[in-house]
Structure 1
């Protein structure tokens, strides 16, 4: 016996149905969720069907349940049907209604609910294009007839354009929201230079734009064949994945091909390698910088079809920003690491230079000596040293290498070593400088030379012999009067065959000699004025009774005050030699 028709008491009211459909459409044009809910309610009001589903076309030529009634929890959510597959897929592909009176005898039927016996699928068509399908299922055989089909086709015709308009509106609003979010994300990325902090920020900022259950970022070292796992998170927990070889799995394939990969269902993709349990969909996008793959960002979800072509496009827009930010962070960390290592090396070099070049101020009979150096960098290009010699003579050296930093310091160490090895007790300062100049010219280094002043204190003669190779002129203070000594010469290592002259000065008790590098007199004030030789002379004159140490402290304090407290632009070095006024020394 035929089953009674499920069509409700609307056989004589088609106009009422059209009016109600028009009211629903006009009242919910841009609200997709509300529109679909009203559509299902209207369908159930017209046709008595246990199961009703509105399936909409996705970006990947498939149908996905967008709103449903009567299905058990989770059944409709996970249901994806490709166009042409099943009864709904066939109706969608053919753009025509399909009625199946007994699904058990139709090979196209996909048994999502075992108790279903009949099905009615009506396509939603707008301007000739597929929007989706209204799908009704019943546990009764022959549940749907021509009258039900006509009613559903009428409803579909009224809702199709409205549904498409609502989807377009939602897509446009979502696109605008995503673009704003992407702009904000890109701006925030540019300010982060710590790699760990950057990767955490990427994960947190991306989730509102593309919901995911797990995210991982793997990076490729230069010339490497393995993607190193740098960051991973599932829900809010940080996790560690294994490294992945190029070409292996979804991630390795995306890196090798330099193309994004979208997997709707991981169980249907042979490339999928399960890193964590329960994952059903995945999207992997290579991170490119200057046409080179530097890594992959991988998103995973426990829901089938969680990611769409829109998500891929979003990631493709964001990937260059992420790649650039990661490269900047990696470069910053490399520079910071190298800088820290260099600072350690320079600190060690500075300590070594202090031991090699800045000998402890000697205690020499009849002479009070003070010396000080302030380096513009970690290691100095200035140098000073003292050379006790046979016969109670004392050699005094001050020098300044062209340039600054480590290279200048090494050149200074070379010159100082030469002086210690080549100087002979019977050689005058001029002969010593000529010898060093000759050796430096034999080992000529481009753009390197050394200004130096070498002096010998000869207590038996009570005289100081000076030879100058380009250093500032030394200053002598005697009986309160300050004199700039005319001791000049050409820097060492600059010209072959240079001849230097000795300047011999007989010193008296309380005489004081100051020799210094140009970093003292070329110090500039905040207004751009030079400290100059005249100011140094006034500083020396202002302290007639100062000890050697007191005077050198005063000089450096005055220079610092003059510069406004700024760090020196050039190395500053000075030596003060004061002759003893003790009678027992001079009357020996």
Structure 2
């Protein structure tokens, strides 16, 4: 193999972004530099850091654990003295500390209005605020007399500010623009993880609620003393439910009326005298038909009888004893929960329709046929982790018997990643008419993506041009795993690396040229192939890809691609696919 390395003529040298690990007011020796050095070193360090970010944020959906791990993640790049994540109450427009390191108990209780203090300023501006000396900032809330520097970065998810990540130090000019830049980059991912944890908490709470309600219904068959029964129900419900009103109504069989026997409103005992005829209202319906009734919005249910004007949703569970309904357990929820139920139901229906359509569109965006080459055999395959995904591949024809191969891996999964991949695909096709060299193409796409500044998104992309006459392959890479090359049965990696596209405007990209021979095989894979886990939690990794390629080197390109997918599926076993998977292979005839 002969190779040469050239610089992109259109790209400028990258700015040096040093992530100093500092503490106690002074930088530590041997501080980490993520975006300085050679392109290969930069790409590897940044890729490793972004992988750490993804692994950390995907490792748990429990809010307290998540925020603790975020604090550890930030400390990898900045050795702060004080750390806090503040979450925004959208109703009151106040920030409260949800997790902190180094703050006093008094500070932790503060409620900060939007626009107040440095954190409130970050929310108001929807952008980071870096203060070199807080004594010169009139809005600073003096909670710590020794603090001199502060960096506050808003947490933005789906265009909504949900909070702030705030770090402080006792030295002036402690935090740098490079710290600001990297923390802003990961903040959008932290915000998305917090929103996921919030949703998980809500869903888990609802599931636990239903479990407790079923437990209550079962215990009715064994506890016949009314006072003991009500006490047991109260004990169970306080474990899981923050209800507005809870009532137990028992059936008076002589009058066919449901009689209020026990009620709580905002945790206070109340006495209700409104008897409800069997079959009337939601509770009457639940008892008469011996089935649970859920009304996400009581204003839309004609069976509802208004006893509490604040109620917006209601859940009624009949109390069954020896196949006979003896009463009903009634829960009435606040406006917030009603909206949540309604939004979830509406979103589920919409997503089911949209995902089906998006899946069809994404398939149509992929090449419907492969270029026919006289000196090479081509194949590619894409399998999304979800119904749609963020991986992509394409073939772009150049003049003079040349064709470009593209494989991309967008950060994240699902619809946002798929839409970003569609954007990248459009940019590639529009730029390909100029027939740029691979490094020029990556620089051009990187510039276009940075101009758009789409929140929390970037793409790792490999771009190669094959000359069908000279059998020369020219590579440029921006964060994808290094390409595999099989030559005479021996598999190696091509040293082609670079920063992902959409992160840094001034990133630089190199090219590697390989003169191929008959039987040579080039293979590109996305991260999902290497990062597939088995039951023991071990990654598939590049070595196993090399083994599959070596064992399949006599096969055609399509069979090699399928062999890699089969090996990954077998290795993974019953574990779910957590990342999109794509393989592209070129075998020289």
TM-score normalised by the chain length of structure 1: 0.48
* Higher normalized contact order (CA 8 Å, seq sep 6+, divided by chain length): 2
TM-score normalised by the chain length of structure 2: 0.48
The structure that has the greater radius of gyration is 1
